[in-house]
Structures are given as structure tokens and as C-alpha cells.
Structure 1
Amino acid sequence: MHELEIHALDLRQVDAAVAMHERCSPQTILNRYLQPVPRSGPYVRKLLGARGGRSFAAVTAGAHIIGLAHLLPDGDGSSCEAALLVEDAHQRRGVGRRLLGALVGAAEDAGYTSMHGYVRRGSQSLGRSLQELGVPFQQTYDDGLLRVSIEVKDLRGTVRRRCDATALPNAVTAPRHQETPCGGSAGSVTGTRLAAFRLRSA
């Protein structure tokens, strides 16, 4: 694949992040959110604006976002959740692994002792990426979902950072449903918090 960089992401790039969501197939969105999501914009804004969270984007040499990763605090100060989304055309090319490496590094820097993520039963994507990174993990079932957990405190910096997180370049946002350069106008979201990245039906 083309040259890829991992960049830090915030609400200034919300338009490009939403556009990437809208290029993903319904199945990819279902695998990510664990339920259908009719409108991705509100969820993306909550992810990027989550208090204490960190977000990253996988960006091509042409400044297009093809993957997103979010580190979300649980609220207890010691653990966090990981959430990943990779555009369909770029899956199984190591994009998720590089994004996950950035999340592990961010969790280490923030002093978290553990990190976990949820995937659908039968999904091996998260575990496979951790194996490729050389990170030990545990798998348990939680409310019908597969919970994949790692002990960040035991890594002691052994996970090699895949790339440095830097600010995203500013760029004009293309029309919807087209390849969208990362950038865009700043968003303003007041008082938005994300309780968890699992979006479940009531």
C-alpha cells in the first residue's frame, strides 16, 4: 500500500472523519459499533470530543484518512477502551495494527494499567493485531461480545511505536462520498461525553 502515517486527531478534523465513516460498508460499521448506526456524525463527534480521550488517524501520502482509532478512559483512572475502524478497501493491510500500536503507546504514556476492546463473537481482528505487535492478551466473553484485554503496566515500553503522532495538516474537505483529505473546519461540541464505545440498543 502507499506510504502511511499515523496522526493525532481532534474535532478540527471531524468532517474528514465523518466522511471516512460514510465510505465504509454497513458490515464494517456493524463490526465497529456492534449495531447499525444510521447517522455517524454524532458518534464521531462524541469520540473526538471525549474528555480524556485520544484519537488517531491513519493517513495516506495524499492526506486521506483511511482508518481511525480512539482511546477512551473508563473513568476509574486505571483502564481504558480501544476502538478501531478501517475503511473497507484498506483492511487486512496492517492499518489496524499500526493504529493499535499508537493506542498502546498512548495508553502507556497516560499511565493506564490495562486496555481492552470489544468485538463480535468469532472476530479475530483485534487479537491478530495484538499478536503481530507481540502484545500478550486475554479473551473473555462479556454480554455476548468478545472482550480482548491487555495489561499495559506489564509492557514497560516494549511495544515499538509504529510512528509518531503529529498534528494533521489543514485541507479543504471534499464533497461527501469522495476521498476526503484530512483536515476541515473546527467543530464545536459542548458537554459531549462518551460513556463507552459500545453503542447498544435500548
Structure 2
Amino acid sequence: MTLWRIRATVDDRPGYLSVLTASLALRGVNILTVQVHTTERGAVDDFLVDAPDALGEADLLAAVERGRGRDCWVARSEARGLADQPTRVLGLASRLVRDPDATGEALRALLGADTVTWRPEAVPGAGITDTTMLLADPGGGSFTLRRAAPSFTPAEYARAQALVELAATVVRRAAEQVTLVLPDGAELTVRPAVADDLSAVLDLHEGCSARSRHRRYLGGASVPPPARLRRLLEPARGLTLVATTTCADGTAESVVAMAHLLGEGDEGEVALLVRDDWQRRGLGSALLRRLLRHADQTGYAALVLHVQAENGPMLRTVRRLDRPTDTDHDGPLVTVTIPLTTRTPAHYP
């Protein structure tokens, strides 16, 4: 038996796919996988089949035509083609997370492209034209893919564009990551939070004293539920930063602080949580300054902090910013507003 890939278009009508598969079955062809790509010209069926050794390309083409298939393409396949498409895409996505510079190679592997070319200039009219695909690179530039056959489908374009966008996101995240050196010489990594930080952020909360959690959540000393923390990690508007250290065995990160800027209208509300053994070392001030810089660049009118009146360390951290502030006392709660004088057009992601 021999592995083949077959791609053919059939009318997108009930029963037409079964006619094609029956025609292949009559010749002893075993269908291992099938993907259906919906197009304007009909349903493009992509098969991986195991055919008797006696059958050649002409025999398979004839079987497809008798099964009402058209625009047929047939090619020998290898054993690696047995991996289903979702598994292949996930594998390539995992590779890009580790090495975003491999985007071109990943696209070639995903689509079996003959050539993949990246250009620094954007190409208008991204999309597919038979055997040519143009992809916009969110990081700037564009990819051009070509293959002799078969023609590209909209589903393939969507998968390819998703991989390109993933690689651009990884590059952007890496650019936003900085090494922070505290006054006592300790080094940490500060970066935007991601959903995968949830477990480490839960550990951060559990490693903080009840007093620290009480000050952060203005009365609630318990660890917030995962659903709430997940929303804080990736806010709809704003930015969450985490400060991390590498574990002693070098295999994982430990989150020792997190800082939020949550957008509300033209103001941003800020809150910090620093693990007890990292407090009073300048980490909170450094995180607050980074959020302040982000708010300036994004175009917020002001930052607002709600602080318990007894939380002297946090109030001193705000004073160290050396920015004008408006302070409002309401019983045990102090609301500090930091006007932002540098205004740029607000961006709403």
C-alpha cells in the first residue's frame, strides 16, 4: 500500500462527498484523513489515502473524476503526513513560541510551499490568488508564499495568518521584557503578564501575608478566585506587569510582584502587590514608574490609586514619583490622583 494526498473540488451539495469516497473505495483506496475547505467554487476535499501499490497517479485521477471531482491534484505522501492537521499546527505554534525567527520555515512546513519570501515593505491586497499567498506581518513587512499545486484555500490562509500573528506577538512580548536591577543589586525580569502566569500568580498571593493581601484588595485578605486573577492578568484595557525571578533549579520563573493599570474612561486605576520578602527594596516604585510611563504614552488623563490610610509604604512610594498629586481622604481610604500632563491620542485595543 502507498500513501497519497488527493485534493479535489466537488459541488457543495448533500451526497456529493459520499459519491467521491465511494469511487475511491471501489478501487481499494482507504481514506485515512479528510479535510473540507469551503470556497466559492465548491468544497475542496483534501484526502490522505492509502492506495494499493498497483494504482498510480492516473488511476487515482480517474477515480476522482468518476466520483464527480474536478480540479484534481494527486501527489505521493510520506508517513509524517499521518499526523492530523490540528496536531501539526499546534506543533508549529509551539516551535514559534520558542523561535519566532522560524516563521518562514513554519509556513513552508504548514503549507508545503515551494518558496517563502519576506519583504520589509507591506504588500497591499493580502490574500490568496490560486498558487500565491500574501500575508501581512504585524511586526512590519509581508510574506509571499508560492507553490506549483494545489491552489491555496481560505482555510489555509487563515491558519498561516494565525501563525504569523503568533510569531509577531512573541517578538513584541520579548521586546517589552526588561531586566530590572534593584538598589541592593538584586536582578528581576519585568514583563507584561500573560494568561499562563495564573499558576505563578496564585503562588504569589499564597506567599503574601494576609496584611499584604488586605492592603492590595482594600479589605479582602483571602486569595482571589482564579477567574478574577485571570481577568487581571489580561485586562480588556490597560496593562498588567509581573516581576519574576528564576527558580533555584533554573527551570521556572517565580512571580514576586504584580502591578495593574486598569483603564476606566480616560483614567487608569493602579494597584500593586509585592511579596513580603521583596517589599521596601524599590521594586514597587520601579513597577509604578513603568505603569506611569505606559499611561503617559497611551494617553490617559490621570492615574488613580486607592490606598488604605495606614499603608504608609505605599503612600511613600507614590511620593517618590515626584509628580503632582491630588489626595482625597474618605475615612480609612485615601484616593490619590496623579494628573498626566503629556497627552497623546488614546488608543483603545
Fold match, TM over 0.5?
A: yes
What does the per-residue CA deviation read over 1:94-149, in whole Å, with 9 as the maximum and x for residues that have no partner?
01001101110111122101001111123233332233232222211246410011
**Match of 2:240?**
55
Distance in 1 of aligned mates of 2:245 and 2:234: 24
Is the contact made by 1:79 and 1:113 (CA closer than 8 Å) also made in structure 2?
Answer: yes
**Match of 1:25?**
209
**Match of 1:16?**
200
Taking CA–CA contacts closer than 8 Å with sequence separation of 6 or more, which of the two structures ends up with the larger relative contact order?
1
**Match of 1:195?**
none
Distance in 2 of aligned mates of 1:32 and 1:81: 13
**Match of 1:120?**
308
Distance in 2 of aligned mates of 1:38 and 1:133: 30
**Match of 2:222?**
38
Distance in 2 of aligned mates of 1:155 and 1:131: 19
> Within 5 A, what are the aligned runs for 1:126-165?
126-142=314-330, 144-152=332-340, 154=341
Q: Secondary structure at the match of 1:64?
A: strand
Distance in 1 of aligned mates of 2:339 and 2:314: 15
**Match of 1:102?**
290
Q: Which consecutive segments of 4 or more residues in structure 1 shift more than 6 A?
A: none
Q: CA RMSD in A?
A: 2.1
What does the per-residue CA deviation read over 1:34-75, in whole Å, with 9 as the maximum and x for residues that have no partner?
12243422331121132112100122355321110000011x
User: Bigger CA drift: 83-92 or 9-18?
Assistant: 9-18
**Match of 1:86?**
274
**Match of 1:161?**
none
Is the contact made by 1:117 and 1:149 (CA closer than 8 Å) also made in structure 2?
Answer: yes
What does the per-residue CA deviation read over 1:63-95, in whole Å, with 9 as the maximum and x for residues that have no partner?
321110000011x2x101001000011110001
Unaligned runs of 5+ in 1: 158-202
What does the per-residue CA deviation read over 1:148-197, in whole Å, with 9 as the maximum and x for residues that have no partner?
11012x2579xxxxxxxxxxxxxxxxxxxxxxxxxxxxxxxxxxxxxxxx
**Match of 1:66?**
256
Is the contact made by 1:127 and 1:137 (CA closer than 8 Å) also made in structure 2?
Answer: no
Is the contact made by 1:69 and 1:82 (CA closer than 8 Å) also made in structure 2?
Answer: yes
Is the contact made by 2:243 and 2:255 (CA closer than 8 Å) also made in structure 1?
Answer: yes
Report which of the two has the higher share of helix: 2
> Looking at CA atoms only, which structure, 1 or 2, has the larger radius of gyration?
2
Q: Does 1:6 align with 2:187?
A: no
Q: Secondary structure at the match of 1:136?
A: coil
TM-score (norm 2): 0.41
Report which of the two has the higher share of strand: 2
- Name the count of aligned residue pairs: 154
Identity %: 30
Q: Secondary structure at the match of 1:73?
A: strand
**Match of 1:111?**
299
Q: Secondary structure at the match of 1:134?
A: coil
Is the contact made by 1:3 and 1:61 (CA closer than 8 Å) also made in structure 2?
Answer: no
Unaligned runs of 5+ in 2: 1-183, 248-252, 345-349
